[in-house]
Homo-oligomer: A and B are copies of this chain.
Amino acid sequence: MTRPITLFTGQWADLPLEEVARLAAGWGYDGLEIACWGDHLDPYRWDDAEYVRGRLELLERHGLTLHAISNHLKGQAVCDDPIDERHRNIVSDRVWGDGDPEGVRQRAAEEMKATARLAAALGVDTVIGFTGSAIWKYVAMFPPVSQDAIDAGYRDFADRWNPILDVFAEVGVRFAHEVHPSEIAYDYWTTVRTLEAIGHRPEFGLNWDPSHMVWQDIDPVAFLWDFKDRIYHVDCKDTRKRMGNGRNGRLGSHLAWADPRRGWDFISTGHGDVPWEDAFRMLNAIGYAGPISVEWEDAGMDRLLGAPEALEFVRSLAFEAPDSAFDAAFATRD
């Protein structure tokens, strides 16, 4: 096994990182994808060598490796409009400040730059996250939205992220955007448009998380092929569709997670509708060599039960391609 299987700590940020590391190591995970919230990682301490060393030593103590860090929550605030109570709950006081929307956005952008520097300091080359979006709220396209308004949204994204990505370029780190509703790129064609908006600059790539693709009827496996040079990271979150009764809808009905009337829901990796084996084989085919990270989220299952089970599931299917072509054997002349 050469590709490490890691656990994303984002859904465990209520626990100290030390405890998460202890759990993950105990279950057999190879490493962690650490979130920049809770006490897990503090981007602003990127230049505090002792802090950085301490984090790395924590991992070493548990025999865990580090390949990427994440900062979804602050990335979200970079482009979002409106900025509201939801953001108040996911950013620190430092970013929130007086809550003035533009100020929040700018301070969130600064934190993303710091996150890039922290990644470099930790010796990893990938930061995973969200971009936010000024136009997500127009998704229903009613009241009528002009093409200009849409174009402006992509420009706003580029204007806000290019300076951040300049820092990424400076420190040799890549940003892996997670394609996700509420972001600038949330499906196939918005990803195409987003990459164009940013001029395909190499600092900006994708975190492949298929969970939102399956309920949008996007083929997550073909997605890997088409964006193969931009797959910078892989997150294994799963989704279950439950729309067979004519009443549960695609949009989730504003219902809470685990409500069985939702048309789709996050579910423990391997219990849902993602074609995992096809995907892992496609990762082999496109030469993806990075970590396979389990982003475990399932409001209907105990995470202490689910996280080790997900590891076992992923390990059983995420095997490497064989070294040599197969037909050779069958075709052998006698």
- Complex CA–CA separation, A323 to B301 (angstroms): 9
- Complex: chain B residue closest to A96, CB-CB: B333
Contacts of A196 in B (CB 8 A): none
Interface string of A90-104 (1 = CB under 8 A from B): 111100000000000
Contacting pair A331 B144 (CB below 8 A) = yes
- Complex: chain B residue closest to A15, CB-CB: B329
List residues of A (223-278) whose CB comes within 8 Å of B's CBs: 223, 225-226, 240, 242-261, 263, 271, 277-278
A297 touches B (CB below 8 Å)? yes
Contacts of A253 in B (CB 8 A): 187-190, 193
The 3 closest A-B pairs by CB, nearest first: A219-B246, A245-B246, A187-B249
- Complex: chain B residue closest to A302, CB-CB: B322
Contacting pair A282 B260 (CB below 8 A) = yes
Contacts of A135 in B (CB 8 A): 254
A110 touches B (CB below 8 Å)? no
Contacting pair A217 B249 (CB below 8 A) = yes
Contacting pair B251 A181 (CB below 8 A) = yes
- Complex: chain B residue closest to A247, CB-CB: B188
Given that A36-B334, A334-B37 are known contacts, is A218 also in contact with B249, CB under 8 Å in the complex?
yes
- Complex CA–CA separation, A328 to B32 (angstroms): 20
In the complex, what's the smallest C-beta–C-beta distance from A255 to chain B, in angstroms? 6
Contacts of A246 in B (CB 8 A): 188, 217-219, 222-223, 244-247
- Complex: chain B residue closest to A142, CB-CB: B182
Interface string of A302-327 (1 = CB under 8 A from B): 11010000000000000111110111
List residues of A (114-160) whose CB comes within 8 Å of B's CBs: 135-145, 147, 149-150, 153
Instruction: Add 4 more A-B contacts to A13-B332, A216-B251 (CB < 8 A).
Output: A90-B331, A187-B249, A217-B250, A246-B247
- Complex CA–CA separation, A180 to B142 (angstroms): 9
Contacting pair A245 B247 (CB below 8 A) = yes
